Chains A and B, each alone.
Chain A
């Protein structure tokens, strides 16, 4: 780099160009700081009035101007948890199929298909969820669950179709292409010499997978899971359509609930009182902080990965 700098003439145009590039990079950083400041500033009414109680209070009543985020945080975590429980094992299995089992041509085209599906906007999943999948759940899936597992509180309540479980499943489908594509890339990082050595010793595919492939890239898989979590937790439209916008915490997954993002989407434009708006923005702040921490965690985790395996 030193060589470049000494060999070029310092023209004005050069400094302007460098300056513009620097300013652009600085803008990105400032936007990030700006989001933090603005969200805190705009939710000051609510922060001042409710304090930390905002995070643990379940009351959300625009009429009495009482606001608490507990039901939204609960709904966000539960729907995300359902999504991850379903999507992560499924995407690991699919990526194993793509990398280790499928013939190269199949793997190539299914891989393309999955990358394309990752690009489909979330509102499409929302439409399908509301008009097709929710009725399907209430007609076929929920009655069966209730019949056989109805003694568990998770599956009590009327099978309405919309609600926590349906949102979680749709969320799982939404992040599935994303997590699959990521895990596939991670699994591809396993050098074939390592797996071939294991196969050479007479191991079966199951043994190679369990004892060689997965341990080799476990850091990357966890990092991918983190990014999937980040994506699911802030997802708005796919959830808003089917979660039902209900501010009560219920043990049943059949009950309607709400997530932070769905509450924002449903109520923000209807909120006219300053306190109501402020509370909604504070909800956004909570979501921002959660996703920020997840992203920072994923960043450092993956950095550790690239350091340990010598990949830049």
Chain B
């Protein structure tokens, strides 16, 4: 090996350290900038009527996004009700029954791929099977499109979390004569409880901020959500529509909705991490 001069080696080393440090600063600067802008612009738009009233007409005063907040809650709830049980059960299958099977490997592979499919494709898929057949956009379609995003995340975390439960625990319960389903639900689930809750929370947090899957499914609506079989108001599509409009009061409402979504998603994510960390320590 040729010995380089000490100076050049030092220089390269310092350059690396400086570059790495500056990169971290640049990354955090931009992300901090985004957060601050959303907080500043959003806070100006949020007041009590923001939560309780219907949207104001373009250029009008007051008003709120109560209908969109409610609609987002409904659809996220529907997505969780549909997506979480199927996701958890698939995770149970992969961890408890299909660990070595070919079908298990195929499903595991499908889940990995599905997690990387763009959310807009899920919206398109639900559009072709639900909106076209029903003949109109609906909150059900929106909720189901979100459920398709929840499914693989919950299935994957469930499998991972159940796999962490030691085998001796299952063996002890089975040796006492407990049937397999009781062992899974009563023993394995209890041992993996925090991990499962974390997975569900992260999945719900992820979909509650999704816009693309709702564009062609729930659409949006200026009215209160009275029936899920009609186009349903929601925060994210409202942000998109309002931001693209030329009206200042709508754009401001879009900032308010952005802040609200951001707070909701971040607090669910923080809560999820908190629960998981509590378990590990």
A residues within 8 A CB of B13?
204-207
Contact among B121, B239, B266 for A123, CB-based, below 8 A: B239
Q: How far is the CB of B233 from chain A (nearest CB, A)?
A: 15
Whether A69 is near chain B, meaning CB under 8 Å from some CB there, is no
Q: Report the contact-size class of chain A (Cβ under 8 Å from the partner).
A: 35 or more
**Contact between chains at B129 and A261 (CB < 8 Å):** no
Taking the closest CB of chain B, its distance from the CB of A6, in whole angstroms, is: 10
Say if the beta carbon of A237 comes within 8 Å of chain B: yes
CA distance A164 to B132 in the complex (A): 33
Chain A binding surface SS class: helix
Query: Using an 8 Å CB-CB cutoff, how does the interface string of A200-224 with B read, 1 for contact, 0 for none?
Result: 0000111101000000000000000
Q: Return B92 CB to nearest CB of chain A, in Å.
A: 5
Task: Tell me whether A243 is interfacial, beta carbon within 8 Å.
Answer: no
Q: Is A82 an interface residue (CB 8 A)?
A: no
Chain A residue numbers with a CB within 8 Å of B104 are 25
Closest residue of chain B to A312 (Cβ to Cβ) is B163
Q: Which residues of B contact A230 (CB under 8 A)?
A: 116
The reply to whether B117 and A234 form a contact with Cβ atoms under 8 Å apart is: yes
Q: Closest approach, in angstroms, between the C-beta of A304 and any C-beta of chain B?
A: 14
User: In the docked arrangement, what's the CA distance between A132 and B174, Å?
Assistant: 61
A303 to B209, CA, bound (A): 31
A261-305 contact mask (Cβ, 8 Å, vs B): 1 or 0: 100110011000000000001001001100110111011000000
Pairwise interchain contact B174-A7, C-beta atoms closer than 8 A: yes
Q: Which of B27, B211, B219, B261 contacts A90 (CB 8 A)?
A: B27
Question: Least Cβ distance of A99 to chain B in Å?
Answer: 10
Given A18-B97, A21-B93, A296-B113 contact (CB < 8 Å): yes
B222 interface residue (CB < 8 Å to A): no
Chain B nearest CB: distance from A38 CB in Å? 5
Contact B265 A123, beta carbon cutoff 8 Å: no
Binds A, one of B18-26, B61-69, B192-200: B18-26
B48 at the interface (CB under 8 A from A): no
Tell whether, in the assembled complex, residue B114 and residue A31 are in contact, meaning their CB atoms are under 8 Å apart. Answer: yes
- Tell me if A56 is interfacial: C-beta within 8 Å of chain B: no
Interface string of B33-56 (1 = CB under 8 A from A): 111011001000000000000000
Q: Is B24's CB under 8 angstroms from A113's CB?
A: no
Contact status A123-B211, CB under 8 Å:
yes
Residue of B nearest to A128 (CB): B34
B175 to chain A: which residues have CB within 8 Å?
7
Chosen A-B contacts, 5 in total, with CB atoms closer than 8 Å, are: A121-B209, A236-B119, A241-B244, A261-B120, A281-B124
Residues of A bordering B, CB below 8 Å: 1, 3-4, 7-9, 11, 13-14, 16-18, 20-29, 31-32, 34-35, 38-39, 41-42, 90-91, 93-94, 96-98, 100-102, 110, 112-117, 119-128, 130-132, 173, 176-177, 180, 204-207, 209, 227, 230-231, 233-237, 240-241, 261, 264-265, 268-269, 281, 284, 287-288, 291-292, 294-296, 298-299
